[in-house]
Amino acid sequence: MSLRWAFHYSQWQPSKEEWILAASCLQKEEANRISQFMFKRDAKASLCGRLLLRKAVHDLLHLPYDRIRFDRTDKGKPVLVGDNSNLSLNVSHQGDFTVLSASFQFETGIDVMKVDWLGKEDLDQFFYTMRKQFTDYEWRSIRKFFTEEEQLEAFYRHWCLKESYVKALGIGIANDLRAFEFHPQEDDVPEKGVLTNTTLYVDGKLQEKWIFEESKVNKKHLVAVALRPRDSIDDSSTNTKENIAAPLVTLSFQDLVSSAVPFNVVDDNYWNKFSVKSEKPNLA
């Protein structure tokens, strides 16, 4: 069984009761870290990611909330403490959404990107700045489109794929991004459905066992899920991509906390510290 979830955190304007309930369902150190964010936007994105992780573990492993404990690898990937179930989990947030991928069968990584241009430089200059992040083949795939909007979406699509791949590996984005290359078989990611035919090449060699799911949460948000079969899994059970693709389900806040049980004591000061923050930086 696998899960693909999304939560529209920028749309969520939590009440005092909701914010305290959410924080009380997290480990104390998680809640403390979230309280240190300067802006509401970032605090909400992070908190919702932790809630998605806990809901996934509760739903898939049937563990009570107070027995779910997470740690992080040295690259920041969440790992469930004391788990021997082979459950792989990953979250990402950017733009307006937090997303999660969970799988027993695969090591998984997920990324979300909003197709939006807020840079002060023109797009050509931005692409020049980013020229070392993609191979020549990938740049041709990005630049082949006629409009800047199409090129920008192609750029974010490739970036999303690269992020999902390194997150599944657990190695971080600092590695040489030109050592691996993506070959999309379709020009566009559909607003409905899941693409699974994009291929990956590492050092020029096709990586046949890797699967990449591409979809959209909405018109402006791209999502890529990387799936790497574990060595212990029989190849015959992983080669039917149509049976792998899981639809992305958008959850409400009520969905997030429907089975949650508070176990961390959070007082009104936690809300007070959050409520006075600005929603996001003023970039004017």
Q: What is the pLDDT averaged over residues 95-105?
A: 95
Number of other CB atoms surrounding residue 75 within 10 Å: 13
Q: What is the pLDDT averaged over residues 221-226?
A: 98
| Digit-coded pLDDT (tens) for 230-252 | 764 444 444 444 346 678 999 99
Lowest-confidence range among 69-83, 91-105, 187-201, 253-267? 69-83
Q: Do the beta carbons of residue 93 and residue 223 sit within 8 Å? A: no
Query: What does the alpha-carbon distance between residue 223 and residue 189 come to, in Å, rounded to a whole number?
Result: 9
By three-state DSSP, how is residue 153 classified? helix
Non-local (6+) Cβ contacts of 88 within 8 A are 102, 103, 104, 106, 107, 108
> What integer pLDDT is reported at residue 152 of this predicted model?
95
Q: How many domains does the chain have?
A: 1
pLDDT for 120 beyond 50: yes
Query: What does the alpha-carbon distance between residue 188 and residue 166 come to, in Å, rounded to a whole number?
Result: 22
Q: Of 115-119, 122-126, 244-248, give the range with the top mean pLDDT.
A: 122-126
* Residue 282 included in any domain: no
| Digit-coded pLDDT (tens) for 199-220 | 999 999 999 999 999 999 999 9
> What integer pLDDT is reported at residue 173 of this predicted model?
66
> What integer pLDDT is reported at residue 92 of this predicted model?
97
* Residue 152 included in any domain: yes
| Digit-coded pLDDT (tens) for 263-273 | 999 999 999 99
Q: Of 69-78, 157-166, 171-180, give the range with the top mean pLDDT.
A: 157-166
* Residue 132 included in any domain: yes
Non-local (6+) Cβ contacts of 71 within 8 A are 78, 79, 81
Q: Do the beta carbons of residue 265 and residue 25 sit within 8 Å? A: no
* Residue 284 included in any domain: no
The helix (run of H) or strand (run of E) holding residue 216 is strand 211-218
Write down the residue that tokens 């069968």 correspond to.
105
CATH number of the structural domain spanning residue 158? 3.90.470.20
* Residue 89 included in any domain: yes
Print the SS3 string covering 57-109.
Answer: HHHHHCCCHHHCCEEECCCCCEEECCCCCCCEEEEEEECCEEEEEEECCEEEE
Q: In 174-262, which ranges are continuous DSSP H helix?
A: 253-257
Domain span at residue 58 reads 2-275
* Residue 74 included in any domain: yes
* Residue 283 included in any domain: no
* Residue 280 included in any domain: no
Q: What is the pLDDT averaged over residues 93-119?
A: 93
What residues pair up with 215 in beta bridges, in sequence order? 223
pLDDT for 98 beyond 50: yes
pLDDT for 189 beyond 80: yes
Query: What does the alpha-carbon distance between residue 199 and residue 148 come to, in Å, rounded to a whole number?
Result: 25
> What integer pLDDT is reported at residue 284 of this predicted model?
58
Non-local (6+) Cβ contacts of 220 within 8 A are 95, 114, 115, 116
